[in-house]
Structure 1
Amino acid sequence: MSALTGLLYGALVVYLGGWYLGSWSGNFSLLLFILTLATFGYWLAERLHFLPRRVAAASALEAQDAQRRSELQRQGIQQVDGNVAVARERVLAQPWWLDWTAGLFPVILAVFLLRSFLFEPFKIPSGSMIPTLAIGDLILVNKFHYGVRLPVINKKILANNEPQRGDVMVFRYPVEPGVDYIKRVVGLPGDEVAYLNKKLSINGQPVETRPLPDFYDEDSLRYAQQASEKLGAVEHRILTDKDRPGFVIPMPQFQNFRDNCRYNAEGVVCTVPPGHYFMMGDNRDNSQDSRYWGFVPNENIVGKAFFVWMNFGNLRRIGSFH
């Protein structure tokens, strides 16, 4: 069993190392589910097989020691060397391979349940949501806000709130479902979303905006035009680049969403199909979003982002956001 456990840990290290280095993509939810099942198997084996065997061996050791002491006392020997308590503790102790499997099961189970049904941490990898979210922000995502979903398969089993315009949502990237994306909900099912000449309209009504002082991006060392935008009840900031054109070049291989959209030199107009959402980044001219690859289906929703719990480069960023 120790060799098998070592082999499993070696495979886990190789898998995580390749994932970290980008050699292959990974599914952390599936990995955590497999680890939970594996450690649960060890935990059951410990409770039903290995622990009873160790307890029986410790009892036999105590019985042998008691018999030996009784025999020596009959021979008149009162002082007997040896401490059976130390030997008993060694017999009852878990071997390393059980300590690192069955012993970790409660912790892994708690993490699996917390991450699957309550809150999940994410790291912001790109600048598509600047100025709302910066590269390196570590955020929390509310997994039950949009309903309870089964882990791994992401099947909704209990409804809760519906996505609203202005929500910052984490979802599985429709182009590559193994990758999580974060954008802002702009269009709901049935909405007509128009982004023309860098102006956003929904169902023919211009979205309320007001200009703000230019934003200085410390990563690109450039200034960007900044404005306050109000989507539904949510007011947030957006950025635009005056040097970038307003037109959009969609990904040509996704004809299924292009049938719902009209592209021209000014931008794009899309009608959101039922059960789907139109997503956009707050950094409008530096965001690959629904303008390029289409709509997000309901089954791809992961949760609602709501809190920055750490940014090691800027602790002032910790807190809630809109």
Structure 2
Amino acid sequence: MQSTEVFQKPAEQKKKKTPLREWLDSVLFAVVAATLIRWLFFSAFVIPTPSMENSLLVGDYLFVSRLNYGTTTPITPLQVPLTHQTIWGTQIPSYLDWIQLPQYRLPGFSEVKNGDVVVFNLPVEHPKAYQKYSNVLPDLHPHPADLRSNYIKRCVGIAGDKLEIRAGQVYVNGKAQENPVRMQNEYFISVNTAVNEENIFRKNGITDYAQFTETFDDTIAANDESGYIVKTTPDLAAKIKTYDFVKRIEPILLSKGLKEPFLFPSSDLIDWNKDNYGPIVVPKKGIKVALTDVNIALYGEVIQNYDGNDNVVFENGKITQNGLPLTEYTFKQDYFFMMGDNRHNSADSRYWGFVPKDHIVGKAVFVWMSIDPNPTSLLGKIRWDRIFRIIQ
């Protein structure tokens, strides 16, 4: 009997990836993973200005949780991954606004609460608002809602709250709000001798100080007094007061009824300032208001720019829709009132108004790195005591 041999076709070997292909695959995976993590879970954020000092310092690097309030779906899908407004290290826009999608918010763990430190998109980069606020915030440019500049402030008023500031103290619904632990205000320190500024101020963590001159308000000091204007916390002010060269130390507060320029809202009907502001009701979804002259000044920009209305015109103290005057209005989403903890050096809701809920990005959770932009020595560039500090 003759045997027959069975010949099998050798299996084709899998084509081996080139080093370049493996590298490209790894980069693609890393970009996709980082983009999903940044969108769904948390983002990194750096403090660029002193508006939150002494709670957060310039050079603090934060993790911002998007899970707390629920992440939002992108409005502008045509964007270079892992960028915001511009391509890294250039002024070239990183997005195209040819397509604008409706925004949705995924479920979160909680709602924004009074006292939360919140990252949000700056509302007044709206195309109809940015030029009006260029005196308060220089170099503003219009951007889509999800790509407006990231700001960080503390929420002091949630939707429906009646908020008022009296002599620098925030009141919500008639009750004094608990002040942040490291909140700063401006003080005048009267001294009777020369001061070693490095030893007295820098070593006490006071970085914002200036020698008193006649360019400051002449009601702060008597004619024969010399001293300093400093921004610091009440605890540090009390400590400085115990030094033997200090004659007195007093908070600097604007008087009630003294109208401050560039404050929100811009209206001759209101004479508020940063230390005496309101009362003002924060817009809440479903709440109806009568559009009196004062309410038009307070809520006109909300109705025109942020509540999804068409054909609304707000100008010269009047508001119309489709050419007809509006006499009452029901808000379509919640809003928030935000303030910096550095109360006398913060461009916040007192200067540009309310933050819409659809502009909320996330809750600041903790500092993971802190770099001093003006270190006294090379070894002091990293602020080791701030690393992994929980944000209060």
Query: Is TM-score (shorter-chain normalized) higher than 0.5?
Result: yes
Matched, 1:179 2:149: yes
State the 1:199 CA deviation. 1.9
In proportion to residue count, which structure has more helix? Answer: 1
Give CA deviations for 1:255-307 in whole Å, capped at 9, x if unaligned.
6xx79x94435622121001000000000000000000000000000000010
Q: Label 1:297 to 1:245 Cα distance change in 2 as closer, same or farther (>3 A).
A: same
Q: Match of 1:310, SS?
A: strand
Q: State how 1:56-135 maps to structure 2 within 5 Å.
A: 92-94=16-18, 96=20, 98-99=21-22, 101-135=24-58
Relative to structure 1, the CA distance from residue 180 to residue 140 in structure 2 (aligned partners, 3 Å threshold; closer, same or farther) is same
Q: State the 1:150 CA deviation.
A: 1.7
**How many aligned residue pairs are there?**
219
Does structure 2 retain, via aligned residues, the 8 Å contact 1:118–1:143?
Answer: yes
Q: Kindly provide the amino acid, as one letter, of the partner of residue 181 in structure 1.
A: Y
Report the counterpart of residue 31 of structure 1 in structure 2. none
CA 1:211 to 1:127, structure 2 compared with 1: closer, same or farther past 3 Å?
A: closer
- 2:158 corresponds, among 178, 188, 200, to 188
Contact (CA 8 Å) 1:129, 1:282: kept in 2 or not? yes
Q: Output the amino acid matched with 1:267.
A: N
- How far residue 119 of structure 1 moved from its aligned partner, in angstroms, is 1.2
The more displaced of 212-221 and 139-148 is: 212-221
Q: Distance in 2 between the 1:197 and 1:282 partners? A: 15
From 331, 347, 351, the counterpart of 1:292: 351
Pairing partner for 1:267 from 262, 276, 290: 276
Distance 1:306 1:135, change over 3 A: same
SS of corresponding position for 1:106: helix
Instruction: Please report the RMSD computed on the Cα atoms of aligned residues, expressed in angstroms.
Output: 3.3
Query: Secondary structure at 2:69's aligned position in 1?
Result: coil
- Is structure 2 residue 204 aligned with structure 1 residue 219? no
* CA distance in structure 2 between the partners assigned to 1:110 and 1:131 by the alignment: 35
Q: What is the Cα deviation at residue 225 of structure 1?
A: 4.6
Partner of 1:149, secondary structure, is coil
Deviation at 1:127, TM superposition (A): 0.5
* Percent identical residues: 33
Kept in 2: contact 1:248–1:267 (CA 8 A): no
Equivalent pair of 2:122/2:151 in contact (CA under 8 Å): yes
Paired AA for residue 106 in structure 2: I
User: How far is the alpha carbon of 1:111 from its aligned partner?
Assistant: 0.5
- 1:149 to 2:158 alignment: no
Q: Deviations over 1:190-227 (max 9, x none)?
A: 11111132121111222245999988554324643524
Counterpart Cα distance in 1 of 2:162 and 2:104: 28
Q: Secondary structure at the residue paired with 2:351?
A: helix
User: Superposition pairs for residues 23-38 of structure 1, below 5 Å?
Assistant: none
Task: Name the CA shift for 1:225/1:306 in 2 (closer, same or farther; >3 Å).
Answer: same
C-alpha distance in 2 between matches for 1:114 and 1:210: 30
Structure 1 counterpart of 2:73, which letter? L
Equivalent AA in structure 2 for residue 168 of structure 1:
V
Distance, in Å, in 1 between the alignment partners of 2:179 and 2:106 is 38
Partner of 2:261: 249
CA distance, structure 1, for counterparts of residue 47 and residue 179 of structure 2: 26
Shift of 1:321: 1.9
Equivalent residues of 2:121, 2:150 under 8 A apart = yes
Q: Is the 8 A contact 1:122 1:140 kept in 2?
A: yes
TM-score, normalised to structure 2, is 0.49
User: Are the structure 2 counterparts of residues 140 and 207 from structure 1 closer, same or farther at C-alpha, using a change threshold of 3 Å?
Assistant: same
Amino acid at match of 2:362: G
Verify: 1:165 aligned to 2:114, yes or no.
Answer: yes
**Cα gap change, 1:276 to 1:113, in 2 (>3 Å):** same
**Structure whose CA Rg is larger:** 1
Q: Matches of 1:207 and 1:250 in 2, distance apart?
A: 25
Distance 1:271 1:308 in 2: 33
Distance 2:181 2:19 in 1: 65
Give the TM-score of the pair, scaled to structure 1: 0.59
Contact 2:43 2:66 in 1 (8 A): yes
Q: Is the 8 A contact 1:184 1:279 kept in 2?
A: yes
Tell me the residue number matched to 2:312: none
Distance of aligned partners of 1:248 and 1:195 in 2 relative to their CA distance in 1, 3 Å threshold: farther
- SS of alignment partner, residue 292 of structure 1: helix
